Structure 1
């Protein structure tokens, strides 16, 4: 793990306190990220970028806290000025602690703006924009974001009537697509945690064991199964459907006890410094039916074929087609996408919202891109989950996990 400790000063209640910043990346890496973001801004003729997605705020500044349930943003100008963070007063200290920003670029709004019918935090943000950058500029905002609503957008337009506002929803997401060695290192650490959790869950599953106890065991290992580093909260909880909920990929556990001749699908996800690592496997208690063994062969052969095919220069749609061709030998098809770009995540999703492994995506894969290859099947009576996260390397694909690709039978 790369940890940079920097001493800065902040004033709180007239007392000077020393704040030791703990950053997960070097200052040079943050500067490189900001340079790449600004190059994209120049292509769109943007004077200012208003980021509301916590993934992108974290990527650009290092700020990391569970504060995205209230309006917050990072402002990035087209010049080389340091970004500005604006958020709730009680989160100011967190921004001082976890971000690269100097104190005068950390702005907090009063609690009267929180969930108020009278005041809106966007008024504070608009005021800062006017004072720092002017009232006649071109602003890009993330319109396709879980974290900015219609009211905030309308308020921004009202407060800054002379500014041009454009959609810059995935500008930073695309910059994030190619990972640095440090980012990939954190993803490898997350892979260690998710494999530990998967093994513990599989070991525990047997008749008469409660589903919730398996979930609890998985949660524990996702956070603390390695003595050298810790996991954090993930964007998605463990998804462990079984029985009548088996064919529903987004349902999870309850207090039921497993029975013989039951299948359990496990989709687990670990997080290390906000970098996520998912892994999916299925377990069958008893003797699996023949059709399930056929699907297992289709998924595994498809995974092997796709991973062998992947290298820089191929298109995302070609990866999907390679899997479909291998699976078709077993008369198995998957209608949904079979993978997506992977990296930084906060609730509610771990996908980067950029590249999908599906027929219409012609994105060319590059070294350093990371994906979750998940040709899982959720057909009625024919459900099976075997997935592989991977990174694109100079010569091919490197899987993050080393976990048997099979249906586990107990």
Structure 2
């Protein structure tokens, strides 16, 4: 905030709210915000008044800094929740300062931003997207341990995937078994709610009641989660015995993944990793070959660095990434069945002093069921 010249910071991203306050609750479907105020010793958290108890239990702040709004401020009521935020800024003396707002947040509507701007005529609203995200891009040892524990959950869930998938099994039944493992965790520790359901078709596609058929080939992607830290993993599943051509494609995909892992090392930029991958991969993706991952309440991407052209972020030990080469036919439409080939392969890892450390131990293989 000092570097950006900000007097106040209004955080609408749930992950950033949790990172600074400890708040844990699946309440982000309604308006909530964390206010970081320059001269206050603690942040101020606000949400619907029904979230007050969860905030008192999970945050590290004193209860006086949990300032939830009444139903009078709920959307479509007498007031709007942004009016409550304005009143808090006025009370604490920041209604006329430089106020940072996460303009790129998926949890700040255009209407809410417009209301804040209109009701804070003396304030200078500044784009503060990413100010908090970059704080957890480089992980502490405790955070890395959470990701290692999450990876053990991911490995167990991929073993479940291999056990439950076969011709005739409904996608929803397979997803139920995988989700159970993800939430059960291990005997030593439980898992968090997964940030994404298992998928058996197009990217981010919801599973259905469709029964798997011989010849189906698709990527399976999910992440075990521990204290909101995720370790995603992708593998390719083939229903029935693959042809030699399909095996050869998977081997080329495995080479592409190893290429990225061998390229990553401290001192290189994200752009240099991407360039090496794009110039040498068997099947270079149209999009990025990796992205920062780890902490997330609503997903596992952190919204900071990516292995893409133009990203000059310099790799340092402690930075964590998910690299996911793929082969996707029909203009990336994805899907299942012999006419729609989608093969995924990935690992999640941390940059070390001399390369990288992969968190998980699940075999790098084509899963044949």
Q: TM-score normalised to the size of structure 1?
A: 0.84
1:165-197 CA deviation, whole Å, 9 max, x = no partner?
010011111112111111111111111111101
Task: Name the SS for the 2:61 alignment partner.
Answer: coil
Residues in 1 aligned to 2:286 and 2:241: alpha-carbon distance in whole angstroms:
28
Extract unaligned runs of 5+ from structure 2. 331-339
3-state DSSP class of the match of 1:227? Answer: coil
Q: Which has the higher strand share?
A: 1
Aligned residue number for residue 195 of structure 2: 235
Root-mean-square deviation over aligned CA pairs:
1.6
Q: How does 1:85-234 map to 2 (within 5 A)?
A: 85-234=45-194
* Offset at residue 272 of structure 1 (A): 1.1
Higher relative contact order, structure no. (Cα contacts within 8 Å, ≥ 6 residues apart): 2
2:296 matched to which residue of 1?
345
Choose from 239, 246, 267 the match for 1:285: 239
Rounded to whole Å, the distance in 2 between the matches of 1:215 and 1:94 is 30
Match of 1:251 in 2: 205
- Once the 2 structures are TM-superposed, how far is the Cα of residue 229 of structure 1 from its aligned partner? 1.2
Judge conservation of contact 1:249–1:378 (CA < 8 Å) in 2. no
Structure 1: gaps (5+ residues): 1-40, 242-247
Q: Secondary structure at the match of 2:360?
A: coil
Residue from 354, 379, 394 that aligns with 2:329:
379
Q: 1:225 to 1:67 in 2, by over 3 A?
A: closer
Contact 2:290 2:322 in 1 (8 A): yes
Instruction: Determine the structure 1 residue equivalent to 2:335.
Output: none
Q: Aligned equivalents of 1:57 and 1:193: distance in 2?
A: 25
Structure-2 residue corresponding to 1:245: none
Q: Does 2:274 correspond to 1:315? A: no
Matched, 1:360 2:310: yes
Shift of 1:338: 1.5
| Structure 1 runs of 4+ with >4 Å offset | none
2:217 to 263, 288, 291: 263
Query: Counterpart of 1:139 in 2: which secondary structure?
Result: strand
**Counterparts of 2:185 and 2:127, CA distance in 1:** 42
Distance 1:395 1:338 in 2: 20
Cα distance in 2 for partners of 1:295, 1:326 equals: 15
Separation in structure 1 between the aligned mates of residue 89 and residue 313 of structure 2, nearest angstrom? 35
Inter-partner Cα distance in structure 2 for 1:368 and 1:80: 31
SS state at 1:161 partner:
coil
Q: TM-score, normalised on structure 2?
A: 0.93
Residues 53 and 147, structure 1, Cα contact 8 Å, conserved in 2: yes
Identify if the C-alpha distance between structure 1 residues 301 and 122 changes in structure 2 by more than 3 Å, giving closer, same or farther.
same
Number of aligned residue pairs: give it. Answer: 360
Instruction: Kindly state the Cα deviation for residue 359 of structure 1 after the two structures are TM-superposed.
Output: 2.1
